[in-house]
Amino acid sequence: MASFADYVASRPAAEQAEADILHYTEVLIEALTMDAPEGYSYAIDGGRKYHKVWMTTGGGNCSIHAFVDKKTGDVLKPASTKAPAKGVRFNLLDEASREDMLSRVGWSGGYLYRR
């Protein structure tokens, strides 16, 4: 059984991982913005369990582009505006997975489909 001292010792590592996940989510948004057509924009909305990456079109329509798990860094395709689809697509904390995602990133979200 883990002691309170173990919990306290692990807390800074967990906070650093969450900060890294937020940073890499912002990097994802920058890559999406560079690939997007004129007038499209992206933003992060933090929920209880996931960061939602929102896409706003030139006409003002909003949709969820992706979900990012705040604890693990898993990137998931949306099933609806409230929940992600099953199956992890990429992981932001794994360097190889993150680089693969950033090399495939596209404004329309095609990189989130399974191959």
Give the Cα separation of 28 and 109 in Å (integer). Answer: 12
| pLDDT at position 92 over 90 | yes
Q: Is 17 exposed, middle or buried, given 0-12, 13-18 or 19+ CB atoms closer than 10 A?
A: middle
The three-state secondary structure class of 11 is helix
| pLDDT at position 89 over 80 | yes
Work out the mean pLDDT of the chain and round it to a whole number: 91
Q: What is the pTM of this model?
A: 0.88
| pLDDT at position 5 over 80 | no
| pLDDT at position 1 over 70 | no
Per-residue pLDDT averaged across 50-60, rounded?
Answer: 93
How many Cβ atoms are within 10 Å of 97's Cβ, its own excluded? 17
User: What type of residue is 34?
Assistant: M
What pairing do the DSSP bridges indicate for beta strands 41-46 and 90-91? Answer: unpaired
